[in-house]
A and B are shown apart, each in its own frame.
Chain A
Amino acid sequence: MLDNKKSVFKLGRLSVALLIAGCSSMVMADKFSDAAQNWVGSEFTPSTLTEKQQMNEMSWFTEAAKPYRGMEINVASETLTTHEYESKTLAKAFFEITGIKVNHDLIQEGDVVEKLQTQMQSGINIYDAYVNDSDLIGTHFRYGKVVPISDFIAGEGKAVTNPDLDLQDFIGLDFTTGPDGKVYQLPDQQFANLYWFRADWFADEDLKKRFKAEYGYELGVPVNWSAYEDIAEFFTVKVKEIDGERVYGHMDYGKKDPSLGWRFTDSWLSMAGAGDKGLPNGLPVDEWGIRVEGCNPVGSSVSRGGATNGPAAVYATAKYVEWLDKYAPPEAPGMTFGEAGPVPAQGAIAQQIFWYTAFTADMTKPGPVVNEDGTPKWRMAPSPLGPYWEEGMKVGYQDTGAWTFLKSTPVDRRKAAWLYAQFVVSKSVSLKKTIVGLTPIRESDLNSQEMTDLAPKLGGLVEFYRSDAREQWTPTGTNVPDYPKLAQLWWQYVSEAASGEKTAQQAMDGLAAAQDKVMERLERANAQGECGPKLNPEKDPQYWLSQPGAPKAKLPNEKPQGKTIAYKDLIAG
Chain B
Amino acid sequence: MNKKKTLGLSVYIIFLLLPIYWLLMMSFKDNSEILGGLSFWPDTFTFDNYMTIFTDPTWYTGYLNSIYYVALNMIITLTVALPAAYAFSRYNFMGDKHLFFWLLTNRMSPPAVFLLPFFQLYSSVGLFDTHIGVALAHCLFNVPLAVWILEGFMSGVPREIDETAYIDGYTFPKFFVKIFLPLIRSGIGVTAFFIFMFSWVELLLARTLTSVDAKPIAAVMTRTVSASGIDWGVLAAAGVLTILPGVVVIWFVRNHVAKGFALGRV
Contact = CB atoms under 8 A, between A and B. Distances in A.
Contact of B229 (A103, A191, A342): A342
A76 B228 CA distance: 18
A450 interface: no
Most chain B CB inside 10 Å of its own CB: which residue of A103, A106, A107, A361: A107
B36 interface: yes
Interface in A53-93: 74, 76, 78-81, 87-88
Interface string A89-120: 00000000000000101111101000100100
Interface residues of A, number: 37
B225 A338 contact: yes
Contact of B211 (A88, A126, A365): A126
Contacts of B222: 107-108, 111
A115 B211 contact: yes
Interface residues of B, number: 25
Given A109-B226, A341-B229, A399-B227, A124 B123 contact: yes
A197 B222 CA distance: 31
Interface string A333-352: 00000110111011000000
B11 interface: no
Nearest to B31: A342
Contacts of B215: 105
Contacts of A115: 211
A147 interface: no
A42 interface: no
A362 B229 contact: yes
A108 B225 contact: yes
A328 B107 CA distance: 46
A465 interface: no
Interface in B12-35: 31-32, 35
B5 to A, nearest CB: 37
Contacts, number: 77
B167 to A, nearest CB: 57
A105 B229 contact: no
A105 B214 CA distance: 12
A557 interface: no
B258 interface: no
A79 B225 contact: yes
A81 B228 contact: yes
A436 to B, nearest CB: 13
B55 to A, nearest CB: 10
B223 A106 contact: yes
A109 B227 contact: yes
A356 B228 CA distance: 8
Given A107-B219, A342-B31, A367-B32, A124 B128 contact: yes
Contacts of B31: 342
Nearest to B211: A126
B128 A127 contact: no
A126 B210 CA distance: 9
A80 B226 contact: yes
Contact of A80 (B207, B211, B224, B228): B228
Contacts of A367: 32
Nearest to A114: B208
A88 B229 CA distance: 20
B35 A342 contact: yes
A487 to B, nearest CB: 15
B228 A105 contact: no
B79 interface: no
B120 A122 contact: yes
B75 interface: no
Nearest to A123: B123
Contacts of B128: 124, 126
Contacts of A464: none
A10 to B, nearest CB: 43
B170 interface: no
Interface of A is mostly: mixed
A361 B224 CA distance: 16
Contacts of B68: none
B58 interface: yes
A358 interface: yes
Contacts of A106: 58, 223
Contacts of B208: 118
Contact of B230 (A81, A109, A338, A346): A338
B212 interface: yes
A118 B128 CA distance: 13
A78 B226 CA distance: 7
Given A107-B219, A118-B119, A127-B211, A79 B226 contact: yes
Nearest to A121: B116
A106 B62 CA distance: 12
Contacts of A76: 211
B228 A362 contact: yes
A362 B30 CA distance: 13
A359 interface: yes
Given A105-B211, A342-B31, A342-B35, A122 B119 contact: yes
A341 B230 CA distance: 9
Interface string B41-81: 00000000000000010100000000000000000000000
Nearest to A111: B222
A356 B227 contact: yes
A74 B211 contact: yes
A346 B36 contact: yes
Interface in B111-169: 119-120, 123, 128
B117 to A, nearest CB: 12
A78 B227 contact: yes
Contacts of B56: 88
Interface in A417-458: none
Nearest to B215: A105
Contacts of A359: 228-229
B217 to A, nearest CB: 13
Nearest to A438: B228
A359 B228 CA distance: 5
Given A106-B223, A109-B227, A359-B228, A74 B212 contact: yes
Most chain A CB inside 10 Å of its own CB: which residue of B211, B224, B228, B229: B228
A79 B211 contact: no
Nearest to A340: B229
Contacts of A361: 228
Given A105-B211, A105-B212, A342-B35, A358 B227 contact: yes
A28 B23 CA distance: 50
Nearest to B32: A367
Contacts of A342: 31, 35, 229
Contacts of A118: 119, 208
Given A122-B123, A126-B211, A108 B229 contact: no
A345 B229 CA distance: 12
Most chain A CB inside 10 Å of its own CB: which residue of B128, B224, B227: B227
Contacts of B119: 118, 122, 124
Nearest to B231: A79
Given A105-B212, A346-B36, 8 more contacts: A74-B211, A74-B212, A124-B120, A124-B128, A342-B31, A362-B229, A365-B32, A367-B32
**Which 4 A-B pairs have CB atoms at the shortest separation, nearest pair first?**
A79-B226, A108-B222, A338-B230, A124-B123
24 contacts: A74-B212, A76-B211, A79-B225, A79-B226, A80-B226, A80-B227, A80-B228, A88-B56, A105-B58, A105-B215, A107-B223, A111-B207, A111-B219, A111-B222, A122-B123, A127-B211, A338-B225, A339-B230, A341-B228, A341-B229, A343-B35, A345-B32, A356-B228, A365-B32
